[in-house]
Amino acid sequence: MTPMLAVLSAGPGVTVQDAGRRGWSRWGVTGCGAMDPAAFHLANRALGNEAGAAAIEVATSGLEITVEGGALDVAIVGGDFDIRLDGRRLTATVGLRLEPGGRLAIRAGVSGAWCYLAVAGTIDVPAVLGSRATHIRSGLGGLGGRGLGAGDRLAISGARRVIETVSAIDAGVLEADGGPIRVVLGPQADHFTDDQIAAFLEREWRLSPRSDRMAYALEGPPLGHARGHDIVSDAVAHGAIQVPGSGLPFVLMADRQPTGGYPKIATVIGADLGRMAQIRPGGTVRFRAVTSDEAVAARRTLADRLTRPVRSTPMVRGELSTADLIGRDLVSGVVDAHSDDGR
């Protein structure tokens, strides 16, 4: 029987996302997709899903689900969220089997702004313009082009059993080094004086509460423009940092409009988009300029790490089992149930 994922409660901004809607920017269509592409990718890999399979992106507003009609294997990867299965606290990056009637609650934890609930199967919402990603502003994709809410049901077709026991997923590849977010200067760095670029890189910026999937608004002393704050609209990359007339930068995120008319002082490199996305409103950020070559090298390093087998460790009564349990590849199906040793 096809399991049905049932939403018991969902805060604002919890949506179905995939790797994004590609190929339609020339028609004004927003790319969307996961805010933290690496975490999203790892969640799918932990279940042996195809890269880019649709998952549920959970905001700090939280999500509680159950499943009807059959068990469902899921993986959760992303920020340090508070995950509870039938009230039992689990680790933040975890694979588990949700049995019918079981309750899985995902709430904001210590840090992080987004996490991904991937399912071993296909979230059965129609692809719109080739993608299941939700874009709420234009009402496209996902479940009726909107965020999830209590009472929503998502059919999961082709559900597979891949998880033997509740297991902590090793998300070490996502671990932040805590350093500044790396940017490549431009494409309109020439609209700013050298001292304003230096100020942009030296300042500690605070993330405004007005931040959302479209843009992260930064607060701090405003930057000045050398050549006015309007340009003829051109295309906007994920991670581009535009500076409008207010002088306060916006980091343009997954739901950005495909074009814009303000100068972009710098662009967050692909390898750091996830770290940028995981900063919460009120949190602070610094930027460091790197070359395009360094950005490509960082991209390659992350891509290589993300292709390694996903390792996981069975959990015992909600605690991580001891280190003598060797991490295993969840997908290989060789994980033993190590839950009876009473430790």
What token pair was written down for 252?
């343009």
In angstroms, what is the minimal distance from the CB of 278 to other proteins?
18
Considering the rule CB under 8 A, would residue 134 count as an interface residue with other proteins?
A: no
**Ordered DSSP codes for 96-117:** EEEPTT--EEEEEEEEEEEEEE
Considering the rule CB under 8 A, would residue 263 count as an interface residue with other proteins?
A: no
| Number of alpha helices (DSSP H) and beta strands (DSSP E) in the chain | 4, 24
In angstroms, what is the minimal distance from the CB of 244 to other proteins?
14
What token pair was written down for 231?
């340009």
Considering the rule CB under 8 A, would residue 289 count as an interface residue with other proteins?
A: no
Considering the rule CB under 8 A, would residue 132 count as an interface residue with other proteins?
A: no
Stretch 181-210 residues interacting with other proteins (CB under 8 A) = 183-184, 186-188
Q: Which residues are registered as beta bridge partners of 117?
A: 56, 76
Window contacting other proteins (CB under 8 A); options: 61-69, 169-177, 261-269, 323-331: 261-269
User: Which residue among 84, 137, 146, 280 contacts other proteins (CB under 8 A)?
Assistant: 137
User: Which residue among 257, 278, 312, 321 contacts other proteins (CB under 8 A)?
Assistant: 257
Q: How far is the C-alpha of 272 from the C-alpha of 49, rounded, in Å?
A: 24
Q: Which of 243, 253, 241 is nearest to 13 (CA)?
A: 253
Q: Which of 53, 45, 43 is nearest to 19 (CA)?
A: 53
> Is the sign of the CA dihedral 203, 172, 82, 74 positive or negative?
positive
In angstroms, what is the minimal distance from the CB of 255 to other proteins?
11
Stretch 219-238 residues interacting with other proteins (CB under 8 A) = 231-238
In angstroms, what is the minimal distance from the CB of 23 to other proteins?
5
Considering the rule CB under 8 A, would residue 129 count as an interface residue with other proteins?
A: yes
User: Which residue among 4, 6, 11, 24 contacts other proteins (CB under 8 A)?
Assistant: 24
Query: In the complex with other proteins, which residue's Cβ is closer, 87 or 126?
Result: 126
Considering the rule CB under 8 A, would residue 303 count as an interface residue with other proteins?
A: yes
Amino acid at 1: M
Residues that contact other proteins, how many (by CB under 8 A): 45
Decide if 116 contacts 15 (C-beta within 8 A): no
Left (φ > 0), alpha (ψ -120 to 50) or beta: where does 129 sit? left
62 Cβ contact list (under 8 Å, min separation 6) = 9, 10, 11, 14, 105, 106, 107, 108
Window contacting other proteins (CB under 8 A); options: 5-13, 147-155, 216-224, 251-259: 251-259
User: Which residue among 65, 136, 140, 331 contacts other proteins (CB under 8 A)?
Assistant: 140
Binding site for other proteins (CB under 8 A): 22-30, 128-129, 137-140, 183-184, 186-188, 231-240, 257-260, 264, 267-270, 292, 295-296, 299-300, 303
